[in-house]
Amino acid sequence: MKFVELNTFLKINLVVSSGGEAKRLIRSEQVKVNGEIETRNKRKLIAGDKVLIGDNLFIVTDNVCKKEV
């Protein structure tokens, strides 16, 4: 099963520009995965997971990480 770590996902989608910035954002409790606050940098995301940051919703797919408007 394919997965992507949350910190990498944030960098791929240009939410953050570095690993350190991703870590700070995640630890600040501003990131929700599937409706729950997530504070683990290396949380494994799989297809179908939903990541919410502020008003921005991202859905993880097998090949592409899509941002929903």
pLDDT digits over 8-50, tens only? 999 998 899 999 999 999 999 999 999 999 999 999 999 999 9
- Cβ neighbours of residue 50 under 8 Å, at least 6 residues apart? 33, 34, 35, 57, 58, 59, 60
pLDDT band at 69 (very low <50, low <70, confident <90, very high): very low
The CATH classification number of 4-68 equals 3.10.290.10
User: Domain ranges in the chain?
Assistant: 4-68
What is the mean pLDDT of the segment spanning 42-63? 91
pTM: 0.85
The per-residue pLDDT for 61 is 83
CA 35 to chain centre: 12
